[in-house]
Structure 1
Amino acid sequence: MKIKLISPKMTLRPMDSEFKRVMSPSIALLILAALTPNEHELYIEDENVGKLNLEDKPDLVGISVNVDTSQRAYEISKHYRKQGIKVILGGIHASANSDEALAYADSVCIGEAEELWEQVIADVQTGNLKKKYYNDKPTNLANTPIPKWSLIDKSKYLYTNVVVTSRGCPFRCEFCYNSCEYVHNKFRNRPIEHVIEEVKALGTKQVMFIDDNFIGNIIWTKEFLRQIKPLYLKWHAAVSANLVQHLDLLDEMKESGCESLFIGFETINKASIESVSKYQNNIESYEKLIQEIHSRGIMVNASLVFGFDDDEDTVFEETLNWLVKNKIETMTAHILTPYPGTKIYQRLKSQSRIIDHEPTHYNTSYVVFSPNKMTQQQLYEGYLKIYEDFYSIKNIIKRLPNDRNQRIPYLLFNFVYRKFGKITSKIASFGLMNNLGKSARKLSYGID
């Protein structure tokens, strides 16, 4: 049987360059490829790095769906179904809105697919494809294989040195997909030896751990860091702000090669953080956490959200001043976006505050709901301005890290990726994306 897996083209925000689309491939699709029995022919097409071939005749098409790519995914599905080809949709949006997705496909896979995939294939072969597939218990991550990287052209991506060590998050913030009903609450880590095997197979000393929360299980993380010290890695990860309660873990991070941490601070407004059930964040300890991270020569990427019900239009200037004062190296900002299926979507919908239902606008750069303490225009313009001001040359200089070892990666990210990313990504689009990533690693850390 011939099986085709597809990643539809994602939308870009005003400050994004093509780097956003080609940052890294879909690990989920590469894992499904590794789980596919060898008797079948499987191939992957990513519309973010090239045009889809819609003239082929696979027996089964699987499409990964995010909210902003959903309309494109449904168009692709319609194209294949017209030819009698079976289509199954999966991914975070299809999982959270399975009835909607099913209107455009033959089947929907809800949640984690590893323990369902072989059954899906078998059902297609026998003509018994079910409408919905859902595993009512968390996937056993001991059975998750190494992604099948051989199926893609790595040269088209900026980074292919990405590894997942866990599933889920121990927290259920109401604006996050982890608040959806289909999500299993149990946080799980992969076996340490499996992760280390995958890291070694990458053939690079720089690794990005792309978990929802790398410190979801402190005991596991400590042991993992102890075991990777002999590998002499340079690594990056996303962690929750309660890391401030585990400074001994932060020491282990530094000793094992941590270079930067992505942290969901979300807001410096205490009332706002409490309003969305993000109880793991203690705003009073933010600056202590940043100081502790910086004192160990580690950079901080602050994730921020604007538009909470307790946010006024002064929040942008206050936040910018806070970011510059604390010399935050990089910032990723978002307009609060009530993703369909999340708790915050349900709340705002019940209050008749959802004002924009265009799926492509649900990429955190549009105001799709009625804000509480500012106008839609104030929220949108404030969001654009904080990006412009944060990445101004003046503020890039002001935020220059005290640690000299971090200055090259800092300047590369702030100038090459963010400030002038639209120019550099256009140059790198000529088959140079992966080479650019390797060059950045070499310049930043002296490693391949």
Structure 2
Amino acid sequence: MRVKMILPALTEAISPYFRPIKYSLFPPLGLATLAGYLDEDDQVTIQDEHVEKLDLYDNPDLVVIQVYITSAYRAYELADHYRAKGIYVALGGLHVTSLPDEAAQHADSIFLGPGEDIWPAFLSDYRQGRAAKVYTSKVRTLVGIPKIRRDLIKRNLYLVPNSIVVSRGCPHVCDFCYKEAFFKGGKSFYTQQVDDALAEINRLPGRHLYFLDDHLFGNPRFAEALFDGMKGMGRLWQAAGTVQAALRPGLLEKAVESGLRSLFVGFETLSTSNLQEQHKYQNLNRDYCAAIQRLHDQGVMVNGSFVFGMDDDDETVFDRTVEWAIKQGIETATFHILTPYPTTALYERMAQQGRLLHSNWDLYDTRHVVYRPAKLAPDALEAGYWRAYRNFYRWGSIFQGAWTKARWNDRLRHMAYATGWKKFEPAWDMIIKAKRASSMLPVLETILSSFGRRVSH
């Protein structure tokens, strides 16, 4: 059987504001995971439109497309193209699970929820010529899943080819998060067995890893066992975690000992009212400053995530947030405009209040305002969002943030990481066009390897 798997380009990845490096970071790990379920004699290819031009003149037996909200229209276009040629098309992913009736118009089969149980069931039915229209996930387990088909990943096209996921979902329930819709009908957070996770890590070449888990620290017992198993491997790794996880005694230390050097932290807002409104209770009554200091004392860089446009936000939120992040010495920051994704609690609430402006999924990219804010005009919210990025990554801001560090080494690493991420766009463009993104991995490892040294007090 000839199988083609496609990750269509997100709308923001082909816009005038396209940053090639951002969309050349990670390979399509989800598709490579599904490919592991195919038979040895199946011919399978994976194409990622972010880093390569799609071949649309082929004639596979089966086309599988992963759909996100801002790639939905492109995914449907590709699906319609192949179906017009008489080729069987299956669609899955977050957007398909959220809006199955919409997706079903463009597919022969759709998958709702995680694929560990429904994808093998579909393959069995498809080979027997009796595939169903809809497959809905009910069984949630990562026990016994096959090895990821990393041989199908074009490693040279990605800065971080060693991406890995050892859990699914998140134990927290925030109103704006897509997760609850995707995992509806079963467990919304579960992990691999520790030994299986360590075996997958051992398969990866080089030193650097990036855990793409929504919350790697979500099960502290699993996380501690994983970090204990990784100790001595000589790895350098990055991941996402919460303020709560950073403050948990002992857990961060184990992570650092196993190679943690950079953590994406969802601060989201400095407003207690906003946290309560969005049911982000895990951040309530947490000392953000203490969490950042604790991470920095352990030599861990911080990528802070912030969301603008919650109901307590006014015109002052942008400058206040940026000023606070700079004073805390956060190395990099990611800003978002609040976006009500379909079927989330936030979406349902805004729909009931008549605040949604449209359903043009191309603009649901966290950079456009698609609802009526409570205390801001839509254009003011968008302007503030862009101003926050400009102000945080100004040279003066980078130097100011770096100078919150006590040691020269830490100051230099701060500047290297922040400027490398935002200031060298022409260089990144040239490297990516030459299909040499992975050649910059040693530079990233050099920066990361200089962190993780505890400050003496």
State TM-score, norm by structure 2: 0.93
Quote the residue 1:3 is aligned against: 3
For 2:4, give the aligned amino acid: K
Distance 2:175 2:414 in 1: 32
Per the TM alignment, residue 429 of structure 1 is displaced from its structure 2 partner at its CA by 2.1
Q: Residues 443 and 323 of structure 1: is their aligned pair in 2 closer, same or farther, counting only changes over 3 Å?
A: closer
Residue among 325, 331, 334 paired with 1:332 = 334
Q: Deviations over 1:23-75 (max 9, x none)?
A: 11111100111111113211111111111111111111100000000000000
2:62 alignment partner in structure 1? 60
> Per the alignment, do residues 404 and 128 of structure 1 end up closer, same or farther by CA in structure 2, a change over 3 Å counting?
farther
Q: Secondary structure at the match of 1:247?
A: coil
Which residue in the other structure is 1:433 paired with?
A: 437
Q: What amino acid is the match of 2:432? A: A
Distance between the aligned counterparts of 1:145 and 1:411, measured in 2? 41
Alignment match of 1:381 (pick from 380, 383, 403): 383
Q: Secondary structure at the match of 1:194?
A: helix
Distance 1:329 1:195 in 2: 29
Contact 1:18/1:422 (CA < 8 Å) preserved in 2?
Answer: no
How far 1:383 moved relative to its partner? 0.3
> Greater shift after overlay, 404-413 or 92-101?
404-413
Specify whether residues 307 and 248 from structure 1 end up closer, same or farther in structure 2 by C-alpha distance, changes over 3 A only.
Answer: same
CA-to-aligned-CA distance 1:184-223 (integer Å, 9 cap, x gap): 3442111111111111211122211111001111111112
Given the alignment of the two structures, is residue 172 of structure 1 paired with residue 177 of structure 2, yes or no? no
Distance verdict in 2 for CA 1:82–1:409, change over 3 Å = farther
Aligned residue among 242, 253, 262 for 1:260: 262
What is the letter of the counterpart of residue 153 of structure 1?
K
CA distance in 2 between partners of 1:53 and 1:155 (Å): 19
Residue 16 of structure 1 deviates from its aligned partner by 4.9
How far the C-alpha of 1:443 sits from its partner, in A, is: 5.0
Offset of 1:245 from its aligned partner?
A: 4.2
Whichever residue aligns with residue 438 of structure 2, its letter is N
Task: Point out the more displaced range, 241-250 or 94-103.
Answer: 241-250
Secondary structure of 2:24's match? coil
Letter in 1 for 2:430: K
Deviation at 1:320, TM superposition (A): 1.1
313-322 or 350-359: bigger deviation: 350-359
Tell me, in whole angstroms, the C-alpha distance in 2 between the residues paired with 1:16 and 1:414: 18
Question: Measured at CA, do residues 402 and 360 of structure 1 come closer, stay the same or move farther in structure 2, by a change above 3 Å?
Answer: farther
CA contact (8 A) 2:269 2:275 kept: yes
Cα distance in 2 between the residues matched to 1:404 and 1:185 = 46
Which residue number in structure 1 is paired with residue 151 of structure 2?
150
* Amino acid of the structure 2 residue aligned with 1:48: H
Contact 2:89 2:107 in 1 (8 A): yes
Kindly, what percent of the aligned residue pairs are identical? 34
Corresponding letter in the other structure for 1:230: G
Instruction: Indicate whether 1:188 and 2:198 are aligned.
Output: no
Q: Which amino acid aligns with 2:147?
A: I
Q: Tell me by how many angstroms 1:88 deviates.
A: 0.6
Partner residue of 1:240 out of 213, 218, 242: 242
String of CA shifts for 1:346-365, please: whole Å, max 9, x gaps: 11112111113211111110
Cα contact 1:170–1:185 (8 A) shared by 2: no
CA distance in 2, matches of 1:36, 1:113: 13
- Segments of 5+ residues of structure 1 without an aligned counterpart are none
Counterpart residue type for residue 118 of structure 1: P
Aligned to 2:88: 86
Equivalent of residue 302 in structure 1, options 304, 319, 325: 304
Answer yes or no: is 1:411 the counterpart of 2:412: no
Q: Is the 8 A contact 1:90 1:110 kept in 2?
A: yes
Q: Deviations over 1:207-247 (max 9, x none)?
A: 11111001111111112111211112211110112125412
SS of match in other structure, 1:171? coil
Count of residue correspondences: 446
Q: Which moved more, 1:253-262 or 1:85-94?
A: 253-262
Q: Secondary structure at the match of 1:35?
A: coil
Check the 8 A contact 1:60/1:124 in 2, yes or no.
no
Return the alpha-carbon distance in structure 2 between the equivalents of residues 333 and 422 of structure 1.
22
Match of 1:24 in 2: 26
> Aligned equivalents of 1:198 and 1:114: distance in 2?
17
Shift of residue 412, structure 1, vs aligned partner = 3.5
Paired with 2:248 and 2:236, the residues of 1 have a C-alpha distance of 21
The alpha carbon displacement at 1:90 in A equals 0.5
Contact 2:8 2:65 in 1 (8 A): yes
Equivalent residue letter for 1:437: L
Provide the rounded CA distance (Å) in 2 between the counterparts of 1:403 and 1:209: 28
- 1:34-183 aligned within 5 A: 34-138=36-140, 140-180=141-181, 182-183=183-184
Q: Counterpart of 2:223?
A: 221
Confirm or deny: 8 A CA contact 1:35 1:114 kept in the other structure: no
Can you list the C-alpha shifts for 1:290-314, whole angstroms capped at 9, x where unaligned? 1111111111110110000111111
Is residue 5–residue 45 contact of structure 1 (8 Å, CA) maintained in 2? yes
Between 1:124-133 and 1:270-279, the stretch displaced more is 124-133
Distance 1:283 1:262 in 2: 20
Distance 2:158 2:235 in 1: 21
Q: 1:403 to 1:196 in 2, by over 3 A?
A: farther
Q: 2:200 aligns with which of 180, 198, 209?
A: 198
Which range is displaced more, 404-413 or 281-290? 404-413
Q: Write the letter of the residue equivalent to 2:117.
A: E
Q: Is the 8 A contact 1:299 1:406 kept in 2?
A: no
8 Å Cα contact 1:408-1:443 kept in structure 2 = no
CA contact (8 A) 1:408 1:444 kept: no
**Which residue in 2 is equivalent to 1:352?**
354
Distance across 1 between alignment mates of 2:374 and 2:390: 24
Q: Is the 8 A contact 1:367 1:380 kept in 2?
A: yes
1:420, distance to aligned residue in structure 2 (A): 2.6
The farther-off stretch of 126-135 and 417-426 is 417-426
CA drift at 1:438: 3.0
* CA apart distance, 1:112: 1.0
TM-score between the two structures when normalised by the length of structure 1: 0.95
* Cross-structure match for 1:363: 365
